[in-house]
Amino acid sequence: MTRERTAFPAGFVWGTATAAYQIEGAVDADGRGPSIWDTFCRVPGAVAGGESGEHACDHYHRWQEDVELMDRLGAGAYRFSLAWPRIMPDGDGQVNQRGLDFYRRLADTLREHLIEPYVTLYHWDLPQALEDRGGWRDRDTAERFADYAEVAHEALGDTVSRWITLNEPYCSSIVGYAEGRHAPGAREGHGALAAAHHLLLGHGLATARLRARSRPGQQVGITLNMSPTVPASGSAADADAARRKDLLVNRQFTDPLLLGAYAADMAETFGAISDFSFRREGDLEIIGAPLDFLGVNYYYRIHAAAAPYEQADPALRSAFDLGVRSVTPDGAQTSGLGWPMEPQGLHQTLLGLTRRYPALPPIFITENGYGDDGTLDDTGRIGFLRDHLAAIRAAMADGVDVRGYFCWSLLDNFEWARGYAARFGLVHVDYETQTRTEKASFHWLREFIAKQGEDPGT
């Protein structure tokens, strides 16, 4: 990675990010319907501590306070998701105007504070009624997603110009339908691959609907979680394990979106568990419609080692075992969650995208953050941010077109299957009192933004 330091250009977007189920709470308020995460959280052992997003950060009632926090941070943008079941409680049919009104108030107030709303249409909270009909395994869910996108755009399109269709379809499909660690908690092979395909199809159908109703200045993109996958050793077995893991996490999504083609090794890798009968002629043209931007979420690099299926813990096996395990390199610095902290992996991701995809659109780093126990003097987070922002500067110096950075997250929140123990916020949340307290990293990032990338020190 080059060590050259470059200033962030004028107009570079600085923001924070959240997701509806992680912060809103108010799961029964004002006509919201149940989501797959409401259901999953009631499954014994599914979520640490038996916790749920029922109350979370109560953002649904405290959103004005949270906008004030963004204003004090100096953020010029805020990435948040709409809760599909808050807008269409059954996933289709009747529209809940009270849900749309909530997001309208939020978006309008953000603009009053000169904060650009970046809206994610789907951040994992599928209406339970659609899951009961097959969920993302079923092609109809992609059609219903396009209907929902149209409803959202009709209500908010005059105040929201930046639309993100999906957040991390890998997690929605593979972690949710193959590994069972996220909602809906399924352990399937063919069904998980169908979910991945139908998520991408839903993205393409929704993109077409948004563009058919486009207003001046509107842009549409998608957010992917990207983890460059490297062999844990120099062995051929580990190299092939890294290829399989890279396909699972990265290329089964990026190739259809950015090349208009299925990854060449899909059949070789997954042919034993699927006949790919969910694919139809014309799907790739829908999925591969040009993007206005690509959102990249980066947290860590994957070091892949071969792990024969028969050696796996039977309790942890899925129908999707690839014979791969992730290892932490000896001596690697790790976050409070044990994730390896390798900012060079972000540089590697950005350069790799540029080299593999000639028609790559501009990139936004839509999530990047550090998990710990919630300490207010969070010097670990400051170091993480400093190093990863330097990696972005280096990639830009190497020719990558990066337009903005969204820190994950504004607030400590419900961290999915980890419950509330893992804290990613620039702002500490006392979940008993809902008191917000700015952490040291909040003040560090505020100075960084104010100086447009000049490190204010610790």
Residues noted as catalytic: 168, 367
The 3-state DSSP class for residue 443 equals helix
**Under a CB-based contact definition with an 8 Å cutoff, are residues 110 and 154 in contact?**
no
Give the number of residues written for the chain.
458
**Under a CB-based contact definition with an 8 Å cutoff, are residues 56 and 419 in contact?**
no
Helix axes 97-112, 59-73, angle to 10 degrees: 20
Please report how many Cα atoms fall inside a 13 Å half-sphere around the Cα of residue 37, on the Cβ side: 27
Phi, psi of 426 (to 5 degrees): -75, -20
Please name which of 420, 347, 341 lies closest in space to residue 381, comparing C-alpha atoms: 341
CB burial of 336-364 (b: ≥16 within 10 Å; e: otherwise) equals bbeebbbbebbbbbbbbbbeeeeebbebb
**Residues sharing a CB contact under 8 Å with residue 326, sequence separation 6 or more, in sequence order:** 245, 302, 303, 304, 305
Residues 145, 207: Cα–Cα separation, whole Å: 10
Residues 197, 129: Cα–Cα separation, whole Å: 20
Residues 119, 146: Cα–Cα separation, whole Å: 15
> CA–CA distance from 146 to each of 83, 101, 196, 282 (Å)?
15, 20, 16, 17
Residues 259, 288: Cα–Cα separation, whole Å: 7
> CA–CA distance from 238 to each of 23, 246, 274, 331 (Å)?
39, 12, 24, 20
Tokens representing 49 are 């501590």
The DSSP string of 318-349 is -TT--SEEE-PPTT--B-TTS-B--HHHHHHH
**Residues sharing a CB contact under 8 Å with residue 116, sequence separation 6 or more, in sequence order:** 13, 15, 76, 77, 78, 110, 161, 162
According to DSSP, the β-strands at 229-231 and 302-306 are: parallel
Q: Which letter does DSSP use for residue 432 in this model?
A: T
Please report how many Cα atoms fall inside a 13 Å half-sphere around the Cα of residue 257, on the Cβ side: 31
* Cβ count within 10 A of residue 90: 17
Please name which of 260, 266, 272 lies closest in space to residue 244, comparing C-alpha atoms: 266
